[in-house]
Structure 1
């Protein structure tokens, strides 16, 4: 596969799994009547931006996720106070634009000092215009213009906090939910592309051999059948092979192999790793079996089984992370994920489909963890609100999410820096 294709597919994988997540938030927020100010892929400086309707769609520099900015989630940035001089444009007896600066340059407007203003409930503005108070109704989609930027006002019924707990929870949960749906669809597509093996493998083959490890120093070749180790038949039991080798650091073991139908023996001495476990540098594989197309039932049930298996594997990884059973090199950020994705892309679209499904499943599960700034934490706050029957102080909740986001970004910087160093070292 050409490098341009590999790069394109790698970028496409990230774009798809992040976009489908954010689209879930976006769709159910819009369905609840919430004003969505921005739909963003990535964080940091904007690379591309276009506004369609009420929402600005942006592509940002750092490919570490995305976000949907809903009105009312955070305190509104622009605030107009009584005593402030502004200019307004009126159409059909309602204010459609409020100008907060460069007032002398505005034409066809009414200029005055704000006496009273309510852009959330009453949608009304009273101005002191040349000594006389004039009141105006405000269009619910009126724009506030300042420093060259337009910001649509958000009446209370268009804000995130005005919706029911159920509506807000659905808008938050919809992101991970879309990742789960995408993962299931992609696993089903993978099964359709890969097919169902006819028969059951009955042997284990030598796969990739690591250069410099004991296996590369003896007469072993890729495709050799691993028949027995120290007289113990292996069959297809990979764990049995690993256990025997692992218990024999610096102790020669006899490996019976079959090559081209002929039995042979090699003596190989496992080297201890950092934990003292014997390793020889073999990645074993099962033989390629004839395959047939999967039925609809096999596709559906198979996708469900893959979802279950991979979910268990992901939580086992979280368990190791929580209990400290890992090293920094075991963690990977966007750089390592992109590296692995590009490697899998070179294996073909079938394997890339399975990998994309796994990434989508991981993103959905990770976002439901009760970590501040993630969807799981926001759902917990909504759950507490439902129990208390009154919302938590928005400022306190925002501070919790801000601190959580800062810590996640710090961790992302650390693992990305480590990934880059690893690439530089050629590991």
Structure 2
């Protein structure tokens, strides 16, 4: 249960922050956000906001989305002969169109639809109450809503509030805002983690920060602020130098030359063997010193965000040069990480969430159709050409990209299941 709660919180926050970036900048650009969804699949909760957005929670915790007007994501298509019902206001304008059998409107008019235009002319025409002798045309209010077949109520999408009606720079910023929010979240979380740790470690020194209780270092009488000068006669000047030697020497006795309280002494120590990343490394139970100033902690949060980004880029390079499904992870991998992090404590969960946020931001910026990066590439192409791609071509590219992502997700998920459960 602890793992499940951790997974839901981590996944929910990452998706919420990412999608809120798209949502916020779409709203600021005058684009109608028809639905803000957390999760995928069947709807389990919906609320129609006064701002025209339907806020929904869906059953499968594998993503989320912001459905913007004009993005080709409409789930309900009105076709001639379709039975529906309409609700009118005092001006005899349609303010609600019901296409769902799950919802009954008390003051609605049954209509067999013949023709409709909910983008330009804003009208709907049909036979009322099954009377095929008379066609009636109703004007549709600009802010009317439509109830989709699953019962979700969303606003209609006239041309003036569609995505393509916004300026190019506004659309580009709206597409970039999701990944941008993930980078901001990562910085905030890494900064919180640094504050929880009491400061940010600095490693361009050979000083010892803390010595863990009952560790090889404590048994060898090493103390905070001791300076490691050499190991087995090899001079060391910073943490990278001596941690590389120590980690490569599990269960092997090492001779350290240490400066302590102004005096130099030799210490024999045997690193304890521990497993990390599928291999055995040596540890002696020391940590680097920390910078504890407020600005140092902020700088530490930024530094860890950059460092996390570099790790993701290295992983992507490794994936390109030698593709393997074992280098990828999906929701199952994320659940496994949540299980391990929840056992380690709140700090580890925060650090993991920060790293996943960086990962989500970078992956979404890849130039793959259907991802934010692919959409930004299309925005740049539009700026160069002076006109956008046709909706048909853009739709095909998006469909191909979406299909590729879905196939990859299925393969990765199945591979994760085999790795962790078989």
TM exceeding 0.5: yes
Q: Is the 8 A contact 1:206 1:221 kept in 2?
A: no
What is the RMSD of the two structures over their aligned residues, measured on CA atoms?
4.1
Q: Is the 8 A contact 1:188 1:302 kept in 2?
A: yes
Post-superposition shift, 1:59?
Answer: 3.1
- The correspondence of residues 236-251 of structure 1 with structure 2, limited to 5 A, is 238=240, 242=244
Cα distance in 2 for residues equivalent to 1:232 and 1:194:
31
2:13 is equivalent to residue 16 of structure 1: yes
3-state DSSP of counterpart to 2:344 = coil
2:69 to 50, 64, 71: 71
Q: Which residue number corresponds to residue 328 of structure 2?
A: 331
The CA distance in 2 between the partners of 1:25 and 1:87, in whole Å, is: 33
Q: Post-superposition shift, 1:133?
A: 5.8
CA, structure 1 residues 284+381, in 2 after alignment: closer, same or farther (shift >3 Å)?
farther
Q: Do the aligned partners of residues 63 and 78 (structure 1) sit closer, same or farther apart at CA in structure 2, a change above 3 Å counting?
A: closer
Query: Retained in 2: the 8 A contact 1:180–1:364?
Result: yes
Q: Which of 307, 310, 316 is the aligned partner of 2:308?
A: 310
- Pair 1:28-2:31 in alignment: no
Change (3 A) 1:116 1:35: same
Match of 2:319 among 318, 321, 340: 321
Among 381, 387, 391, the alignment partner of 2:388 is 391
**Match runs of 1:20-169 below 5 Å:** 20-46=17-43, 48-53=44-49, 54-74=52-72, 76-80=74-78, 88-92=86-90, 93-98=92-97, 117-126=116-125, 131=133, 134-145=136-147, 147=149, 149=151, 150-169=153-172
Which residue pairs with 2:261 in the alignment?
Answer: none
1:101 & 1:40 partners in 2: Cα distance? 19
> Are the counterparts in 1 of residues 95 and 144 from structure 2 also a CA contact under 8 Å?
yes
Q: Which moved more, 1:190-199 or 1:361-370?
A: 190-199
Residue 179 of structure 2 is aligned to residue 176 of structure 1? yes
Q: CA deviation at 1:61?
A: 4.0
Specify the SS of the correspondent of 1:346: helix
Structure 1 pair 394–195 and aligned structure 2 pair: CA distance change class (3 A): same
- How far apart, in 1, do the equivalents of 2:136 and 2:27 lie? 35
8 Å CA contact retained: 1:25, 1:171? yes
CA distance change for structure 1 residues 110 and 195 in 2, over 3 Å: closer, same or farther?
Answer: closer
CA distance in 1, matches of 2:137, 2:353: 57
* Aligned 1:236-275 pairs, distance under 5 A: 238=240, 242=244, 255-256=254-255, 263-264=267-268
**Deviation of the 1:108 alpha carbon:** 5.6
- Tell me the alpha carbon deviations over residues 228-277 of structure 1, each in whole angstroms, 9 at most, x when there is no partner: 7765355755567757997x9xxx98643699x98447799xxxx99xxx
User: Which position in structure 2 is the counterpart of 1:212?
Assistant: none
Unaligned runs of 5+ in 1: 208-219
1:178-205 Cα shifts (integer Å, max 9, x gaps): 1111112222222222223699553699
Change (3 A) 1:193 1:232: same
How far apart are the structure 2 equivalents of 1:159 and 1:188?
38
- Structure 2: runs of 5+ lacking an equivalent: 223-227, 259-264
- In the alignment, which residue of structure 2 is the partner of 1:287? 287
